[in-house]
Structure formats: structure tokens, C-alpha cells
Amino acid sequence: MKTAVVVGALGVIGRYIVDKLAALPDWQVIGLSRRKGEDRDRVRYVSVDLVRPFEPDFSGVTHVFYAAFQASVGKASGYAANIAPNRDMLINSVSAIDKTSPALERVILVTGTKYYGTHLGPFRTPARESDPRHEGANFYFDQIDWLTTFQRGKRWTWSELRPQTLCGFAPGTAMSIVPVIAVYAAMMKELGRPFAWPGTPGSGRAIYQVTDSAHFANAALWAATDPRCANQAYNITNGDYFRWLDLWPRLAQAFDMPTAAPAPLSLTEFMADKAPLWDAMVAKYGLKPYRFEDIAAWPFGDYVFNTTWDVMTSVTKSRLDGFHDVVDSEDMFVRLLKQFRKERIVP
């Protein structure tokens, strides 16, 4: 029996890793997060403020999946500059586990493609793991530098995974694009407006990529258990590319809506006064009672939908080292949006 600590266990990455491991017969999970999750068979949640040092009993832990993240106030493109809390949460978590568990085998650190400067402007594509870091501040760099230095001479190893634009569902997360699309579509439909592309025409024509959260959980399990992944970094995406304007009509079909010419708008500004409309829709359609401020991250939507340059990373290294899973991104979006409607998250 292996024991995993999933740090950030209720987020758009962590909750999928928890579910993946909990479905396997030889894993048990301890989930760390600020909020307390609901315990179940072989899954126990611990509520903890990761910014502060803590010393719980982690004596039997074999693996750590670090997926915690603290966003900064303001535009999502500036999140990577929020260094101190994101660095300290990693240090506090891994230090405590290293201190109390002689059974520790591997630490999985989740970073992202902002390593290459995807949030800053055009970069070399497709980006490879061996490419240099972008210039300037990025808390990924502080995390990687601390972890690789701290690990030297230890009995355990690390792996770093770099996803791009997670696609899953975790209420309150700042880093998932699917609920942004789903709630935007539902509100446009309620207002009698078409499902128009809200970004610029240029951003709609740029090449883009995403990572299915369930797909990422599969990759995290592979990275945690394959000897080839020791002390290595990997890009993890669905393995394909698309242009938003080509994809948009299929997303409209998933909501039985007409499309229209691109109509650029700031989702953050447009949605600023829409909480009463959302509350009315929840009551009208019998939706799950998620608060409007928890259901979608509009600054993240503005960031994704206004990236006017190609965003492409190579997954060749992960394939060569044994992770061969791929996901059709177009089918994934349709599947997840239909799931959101079926589960009454949106009408």
C-alpha cells in the first residue's frame, strides 16, 4: 500500500489526482487544503494553512503530489509573480513530509508552461523542456530551484510537470477554463444573446493547447511511479493543438446556441454585476447552489481568450519516456460541457 499526500487536494488538479489514486487498490490518500474535504474510503483530508510551517504525522508517506497555488490580485497574466506564498507553501509541505517520513520515494511538482513565458508574449514553439527560462520573476523558478537543491543527497527523487490551461471543475479555483466557457454560454443564452467569441479575432486564430485534468492525473501517476521520471521535467498537455475560432461553433452546439462574429469584451467587467442573474438562474433551473464568485474565474478567461500568440509545447519527451495517453481536445470540451449541463452545474 502506497500513501500519497496531495497538496492542494480540492483544486482543479488535486481533486482529479485524489480521485485517480482512490480508484486504485494499492493507494491511500491524505489531502491537504485550506478547506476541509469530505473523508471517504482510503481518503482523508486535513485542513491546513500551507503558508505557515506545520508538523503533522506523515510517517508512512511514499509520494507527494504538489498542486497548491495561491493567485495574486489582478490579471491572471501576473499570477506567476506571486512568489513568496507559492514558494513558502512548497517549502513547508515538502519539508514536513521529508522530516517525518523515511518512506518517501518521489515528489511531483506541478508548475506550468509559464516557465517558457507563455503569459508574456511570443516564445519559441513548440517549447521543449530543455528550453531556457523566460527572463524576469516567476514563482515556478523559485519552487524548482528550492526543490532540486533540497533534494540533493536525499533518498527520494522529484518530477516536475508542466500543464497548459487545465480543463476540469473545482469550484473556487482560479485556473480552469471550462467553467468560464460554460457559465458564459449559459448567461448569453439566458440574455438571448448569441455565443460570440469574446476574445479578439487575432487570439481566436492563434494556435492553442489545453490539458484535461483527468488526463493530467494519469500523467501524474505515471511520473510518480516510472523510474525514468526521476529528477526530470515534462510538458503535459492533451497532445494536440487547435484554434479557438475553429472550435467555437462546436461549443455553441453543445449549448444549442447560435454563434456570431467575434465580439471582444472583458469578461471580468461584463460579469461584475451578474451575480443576481446567476442566483436567479440557479433558482429557475434547479442548479447546484454554487456561489457566483466560486463558479468561474473571469480574469483567467480574459487571459486565455486574449492570448494573440501561438501557445505550443512539445510532449515528445513524455512519450519517449513512456506516457502515451492523448486526448482529443475538441471532443473533451464537448464532453465536459455536456457533463456540466447533465450535473446541473449550468442549465
pLDDT in tens, 61-94: 999 999 998 877 777 767 788 899 999 999 999 9
**60-74, 100-114, 116-130: which has the minimum mean pLDDT?**
60-74
Domains and CATH numbers, the chain: 2-164+211-236 (3.40.50.720), 167-209+241-311+327-342 (no CATH)
The pLDDT confidence band at residue 174, using thresholds 50, 70 and 90, is: low
Q: What is the pLDDT of residue 172?
A: 64
d(CA 99, CA 187): 50
Closest CA to 11 of 57, 59, 56, 45: 45
Q: Evaluate if residue 36 carries a pLDDT over 90.
A: no
Query: pLDDT per residue over 178-211, tens digit each?
Result: 999 999 999 999 999 999 999 998 999 999 999 9
Mean pLDDT of 47-58: 84
- Give 277-324 as a 3 state SS string: HHHHHHHHHCCCCCCHHHHCCHHHHHHHHCCCCCCCECCHHHHHCCCC
In the chain, the amino acid numbered 321 is D
This prediction's pTM: 0.95
In the chain, what percentage of residues exceed pLDDT 90? 85
d(CA 160, CA 223): 9
Query: pLDDT per residue over 14-27, tens digit each?
Result: 999 999 999 999 99
Q: What is the pLDDT of residue 34?
A: 86
Query: pLDDT per residue over 199-248, tens digit each?
Result: 998 999 999 999 999 999 999 999 999 999 999 999 999 999 999 999 99
In the chain, what percentage of residues exceed pLDDT 70? 99
Task: State the cell numbers at 12.
Answer: 482543479
Q: Cβ neighbours of residue 132 under 8 Å, at least 6 residues apart?
A: none
Q: Evaluate if residue 30 carries a pLDDT over 80.
A: yes
